[in-house]
A and B are shown apart, each in its own frame.
Chain A
Amino acid sequence: MDPLLTKPAHELAALMADGALTSEDLTRACLARIEELNPTLNVFLSVDAEAALEAARGIDARRAAGEQLGPLAGIPVGVKDNFCTTDHPTTCGSRMLDGWIPPYDATVVARLRDAGLVIVGKTNMDEFAMGSSTETSFFGPTRNPWDPDRIPGGSGGGSAAAVASFMVPLAVGSDTGGSIRQPGSVTGTVGVKPTYGGVSRYGLVAMASSLDQPGPCARTALDAALLQQVIGGYDGHDSASINRPVADLAAAATAQDLAGLRVGVVTELGGEGYEPDVLARFTEAVDLLRAAGAEVVEVSCPAFRYALPAYYLIQPAELSSNLARFDGMRYGLRAGDDGVRSAEEVMNLTRDEGFGKEAKRRIIIGTYALSAGYYDAYYGSAQKVRSLIQADFDRAFESCDVLVSPTTPTVAFRIGERTADPMAMYMADLCTIPSNMAGNASASFPAGLSSDGLPVGLQVMAPPMEDARLYRVGGVVERALDERWGGPLLARLADKEIAR
């Protein structure tokens, strides 16, 4: 592998700014790595090498002409396949949208282009982002570069694996119940779910509207911060977008210590059901925080117990409505149109053939939760539970600046291990869901390896609009662990042969 590829994005950007590296050369190196590993890992669903190189050359030319470019200009980036792109198919990992090319760019994609990032391709995901393992993709599972027999997390397993396997330094994901953070955790990368409303959802194919939030995937806290600064900020196309300036996240990511920071360990997110290695790495990470000057206390958030059940009502309810538009009339798959069948029958057949099993399961659950007679008991109650979770967070943030927990109860599980047991699969998001329910900012940072050599993540949660605190904590933990291990955790993967 080209050693260039192991460098974080901010270093690569500095090399380009100094004229020591061109975006074209960097992009070529990324494309070569993708070509080498994609057959094994199934990370990218589409790659357009020519378009990527052309975009890279465009950036190089602008730089050569003396144009002042953004801090990530020329950096190759992968985009989760649920963001609309005019130059790549946008499939959402579903047969329903196989080959569909949208006539518009998502706001996140437009901002990447405007900032001069080079979109190399679209990354694999669970179908319509429903899953925690990237196994429900119609286009086959993505594999974890740490162990190709294991899942890379989900739904954004593609974006996390792309970054972890050095195919690209940066990627964009979306997080509805943990789809950025949990893949980050099990691939040893950084994944951030910004405050709901912090990054525009326009052009992100919706799963559950009130929970979906785009965010960055990277190998370092600083890279993630720089990427969030590119894609974040107010957008008039998303009614939930918060109209306030984005804080200086990059500065937060380079903070030297945690003096004066009060950290709350959430007692409900740990203990039984968590792997010992996960808890051990978590405890060590908390010790690091303390060593960096933070004051650590325990906090209780009793309503978090109901976060998972409430989530599994709200999310299917919203997605059952969001996914109604996939009916074979205007775009995507149309099945069974023999010139005789009615539109209704063709819709029925299209949705039967176009959606995979998990999508159908959730659509049916969501339809049930919203249906007459059940709304109050299910959807209505779940919305109330949501406010209890918000209240728990509010109370905890009165005494703490950030809260911490493991990102997910286990390390990467084996492919196929949980596909037959939906509830086991859903448990992977146990710790990440509360922040989607409450809308606050949350991130996963690498916290070390299990005894099997598999990554473990530390989840950091901050109040709404206090995303900078995530990066401050993440940056300090990262430097402390780098020091302990004599280099980034992922460096171990760089030297490893990835094969099945």
Chain B
Amino acid sequence: MTETIPYDDLLTRYEPVLGLEVHVELNTNSKMFCGCPTTFGGDPNTQVCPVCLGLPGSLPVINGKAVESAIRIGLALNCRIAQWCRMARKNYFYPDMTKNFQTSQYDEPIAFDGWVDVEVDGETYRVEIERAHMEEDAGKALHMGGATGRIHGADYSLIDYNRAGVPLIEIVTRPVRGAGAKAPEVARAYVAHLRDLLRALGVSDVRMEQGSLRCDANVSLMPIGSDVLGTRTETKNVNSLRSVERAIRYEMTRQAAILDGGARVKQETRHFHESDGTTSPGRSKEEAEDYRYFAEPDLMPIAPSREWVEELRATLPEPPAEHRRRLQTDWGFSDIDFGSIVSSGALGLVEATVAAGATPAAARKWWVTELARRANEAGVELDELPITPAQVAAVQGLVDAGKVNDKLARQVIEGVLAGEGEPAAVVAARGLAVVSDEGALTVAVDEVIAANPDVAAKIRDGKVAAAGALIGQVMKAMKGQADAGKVREMILAKLT
């Protein structure tokens, strides 16, 4: 059992220093160096060609759109854009890499020296960006045999290279210091901020659960009063915002226990486990890898002209703080209502839902109440729910058209989340549409009035509020598939 020490306790003696490396898969149509599609979920090895399979003789050609996205990301992160840079080969052997080198960038990143401000509990923290560079993704290995399906104990592996060559941008921070107890939250807020920014730029699907946004967290502890950075560990592929926070918090407590015991933290790669919130060691980095970087001779240098960069700068969305202010005004929300959207991490989702045709109020209602509840129950982030803003807008559209009522709409959402398809398909498959057949409704209304003469009498006497009891019974008789407003209208028409 790994020893840890209480979080508040460690903060009296250590200052956490973080470094975050975020990998973003771009949503270009084609891969970084070839014309294969980048779509997720195709049959294995059907989105590959000689180039991304690394077949002998094949040559890469840079996807111009990926460079454009990289520059826009760099600008949005307040980076300087290189006037001239090259791709480089990072040489190491691994079966999910088809060429046994990754085409990346080394000492000439396309963007560098940037920053972003993130807010935690009303306080602003500046996270400095060291660099953002372009590279390519690797294939995916399935580990077969063995007991766990994990790599250790596997008998063999099966590799699908569909993902190999998908464009990636790696965004690397400078050491993040001075956040103290808030460090894990600052890290989470930073990743959330990147996610919103990238979504607003329209350059990535930013779906952490599908791996299109991945975070590696470097954590070290520095004794308070010291200036010497501690040995860091790198926790890999932390796949949700919650995990970013948990993984860092855990590493801090684990490392503090080691340091308190007078031992050294081992420099290594670690893996985060969602199930119990711990990390475990991976490959040891005591023996530093020698990647033998050199400029990729098969690709020509990239030299973005000042004009091009300025053209791209003009396409940037407004800075986040201004953007929030404008949305609140446009949507007419109170500080409290708007704050609830921001704090539940739904701003981008609500915005996209409004863009897809829903009113701000309806969009807010679904995301901040119903969907936030479901995300919470499922222990996932809002944007990890398998429903898109467009689908939420479509559900609201069904409500507005009187096809479903609120209660049925929640069932439609449940269906979409369960993977039953688009909202209209869920309505059809589950038979959820409200009954618009006046005949059946009239019969039900008449029966309920006949069965409740005393309530009917009250209504006739002008106590309209009593209609609620009858509406409830009609709805029950209709198994909920009726428009409550319509039922009320019919009852009142008959009794007043």
Q: What is A's interface to B at a CB cutoff of 8 Å? A: 82-84, 90, 92, 97, 100, 102-104, 106, 201-206, 208-210, 236-240, 317-318, 320-321, 324-327, 329-331, 339, 343-344, 347, 367, 370-372, 375, 379
A203→B89 CA distance, assembly (Å): 20
Collect the chain B residues with CB atoms within 8 Å of residue A236's CB: 61
Of the candidates B59, B100, B288, the one whose C-beta lies within 8 Å of that of A237 is: B59
Number of interface residues of B (CB under 8 A): 33
Of the candidates A103, A106, A210, the one whose C-beta lies within 8 Å of that of B297 is: A210
B54 at the interface (CB under 8 A from A): yes
The distance from the CB of A364 to the nearest CB of chain B, in whole angstroms, is 12
A370→B89 CA distance, assembly (Å): 11
Contact present for B299 and A239 (CB under 8 Å): yes
Contact present for B299 and A321 (CB under 8 Å): no
Of the candidates A100, A201, A320, A330, the one whose C-beta lies within 8 Å of that of B53 is: A330
The distance from the CB of B92 to the nearest CB of chain A, in whole angstroms, is 9
Collect the chain B residues with CB atoms within 8 Å of residue A325's CB: 54, 56, 98-100
B16-57 Cβ-contact flags toward A at 8 Å (1 or 0): 000000000000000000000000000000000110011111
CB contacts under 8 Å to A, within B429-448, are none
Contact present for B57 and A203 (CB under 8 Å): yes
Contact present for A102 and B54 (CB under 8 Å): no
B421 at the interface (CB under 8 A from A): no
CB contacts under 8 Å to A, within B86-114, are 89, 91, 93, 95, 98-101
Q: What is B's interface to A at a CB cutoff of 8 Å? A: 49-50, 53-62, 89, 91, 93, 95, 98-101, 155-157, 159, 288, 290, 292-294, 297-300
The distance from the CB of B140 to the nearest CB of chain A, in whole angstroms, is 14
Of the candidates A240, A318, A379, the one whose C-beta lies within 8 Å of that of B300 is: A240
Collect the chain A residues with CB atoms within 8 Å of residue B57's CB: 82-84, 90, 102, 104, 106, 202-206
User: Can you list 7 A-B pairs with a CB-CB distance of less than 8 A?
Assistant: A84-B55, A102-B50, A209-B298, A238-B59, A239-B62, A320-B292, A343-B157
Q: A202-B58, A239-B299, A339-B155 are in contact. Are A321 and B292 (CB under 8 A)?
A: yes
Q: A210-B297, A239-B299, A325-B98 are in contact. Are A372 and B59 (CB under 8 A)?
A: no
By secondary structure, the A interface counts as loop
Collect the chain A residues with CB atoms within 8 Å of residue B297's CB: 208-210, 318
The 9 closest A-B pairs by CB, nearest first: A324-B100, A370-B292, A210-B297, A209-B297, A205-B56, A203-B57, A84-B57, A205-B57, A325-B99
Collect the chain B residues with CB atoms within 8 Å of residue A202's CB: 57-59
Contact present for A371 and B292 (CB under 8 Å): yes
A97→B290 CA distance, assembly (Å): 28
Contact present for B56 and A327 (CB under 8 Å): no
A317→B60 CA distance, assembly (Å): 19
Collect the chain A residues with CB atoms within 8 Å of residue B62's CB: 239
A204→B89 CA distance, assembly (Å): 19
A168→B162 CA distance, assembly (Å): 42
Residue of B nearest to A351 (CB): B93
Of the candidates A208, A318, A324, the one whose C-beta lies within 8 Å of that of B99 is: A324
Residue of B nearest to A236 (CB): B61
Residue of A nearest to B60 (CB): A239
The distance from the CB of B384 to the nearest CB of chain A, in whole angstroms, is 32
The distance from the CB of A389 to the nearest CB of chain B, in whole angstroms, is 16
The distance from the CB of A342 to the nearest CB of chain B, in whole angstroms, is 10
Residue of A nearest to B96 (CB): A329
The distance from the CB of A200 to the nearest CB of chain B, in whole angstroms, is 9
A370→B55 CA distance, assembly (Å): 23
The distance from the CB of A183 to the nearest CB of chain B, in whole angstroms, is 21
Residue of A nearest to B296 (CB): A209
Of the candidates A209, A326, A343, the one whose C-beta lies within 8 Å of that of B95 is: A343
A103→B45 CA distance, assembly (Å): 14
The distance from the CB of A442 to the nearest CB of chain B, in whole angstroms, is 19
Collect the chain B residues with CB atoms within 8 Å of residue A318's CB: 294, 297
The distance from the CB of B379 to the nearest CB of chain A, in whole angstroms, is 35
Q: A321-B91, A321-B294, A370-B91 are in contact. Are A327 and B100 (CB under 8 A)?
A: yes
Collect the chain B residues with CB atoms within 8 Å of residue A344's CB: 93
Of the candidates A92, A240, A370, the one whose C-beta lies within 8 Å of that of B294 is: A370
A201→B51 CA distance, assembly (Å): 13
The distance from the CB of A66 to the nearest CB of chain B, in whole angstroms, is 36
Of the candidates A104, A201, A327, the one whose C-beta lies within 8 Å of that of B55 is: A104
The distance from the CB of B157 to the nearest CB of chain A, in whole angstroms, is 7
Contact present for A330 and B98 (CB under 8 Å): yes
Collect the chain A residues with CB atoms within 8 Å of residue B100's CB: 324-325, 327
The distance from the CB of B18 to the nearest CB of chain A, in whole angstroms, is 27
Collect the chain A residues with CB atoms within 8 Å of residue B292's CB: 320-321, 367, 370-372, 375
A247→B224 CA distance, assembly (Å): 71
Collect the chain B residues with CB atoms within 8 Å of residue A203's CB: 50, 57-58
Contact present for B294 and A379 (CB under 8 Å): yes
Residue from A83, A318, A324, A326 having most chain B Cβ neighbours under 10 A = A324
A238→B89 CA distance, assembly (Å): 17
A329→B155 CA distance, assembly (Å): 15
Collect the chain B residues with CB atoms within 8 Å of residue A206's CB: 56-57, 298
A236→B33 CA distance, assembly (Å): 12
Of the candidates B50, B290, B294, the one whose C-beta lies within 8 Å of that of A103 is: B50
A312→B101 CA distance, assembly (Å): 21
Collect the chain A residues with CB atoms within 8 Å of residue B156's CB: 339
Q: A239-B300, A325-B54, A372-B290 are in contact. Are A201 and B89 (CB under 8 A)?
A: no
Collect the chain B residues with CB atoms within 8 Å of residue A92's CB: 56
Residue of B nearest to A337 (CB): B156
Collect the chain A residues with CB atoms within 8 Å of residue B288's CB: 372
The distance from the CB of A170 to the nearest CB of chain B, in whole angstroms, is 21
Residue of B nearest to A211 (CB): B297
The distance from the CB of B490 to the nearest CB of chain A, in whole angstroms, is 69
A347→B55 CA distance, assembly (Å): 17
The distance from the CB of A365 to the nearest CB of chain B, in whole angstroms, is 13
Residue of A nearest to B34 (CB): A237
Collect the chain B residues with CB atoms within 8 Å of residue A208's CB: 297
A236→B62 CA distance, assembly (Å): 11
Contact present for B98 and A237 (CB under 8 Å): no
Q: A102-B50, A103-B50 are in contact. Are A84 and B91 (CB under 8 A)?
A: no
Collect the chain A residues with CB atoms within 8 Å of residue B294's CB: 317-318, 321, 370, 375, 379
A367→B299 CA distance, assembly (Å): 21
A240→B157 CA distance, assembly (Å): 36
The distance from the CB of B84 to the nearest CB of chain A, in whole angstroms, is 16
Contact present for A239 and B50 (CB under 8 Å): no
Contact present for B56 and A240 (CB under 8 Å): no
The distance from the CB of B153 to the nearest CB of chain A, in whole angstroms, is 12
A318→B295 CA distance, assembly (Å): 10
Contact present for B56 and A239 (CB under 8 Å): no
The distance from the CB of A466 to the nearest CB of chain B, in whole angstroms, is 21
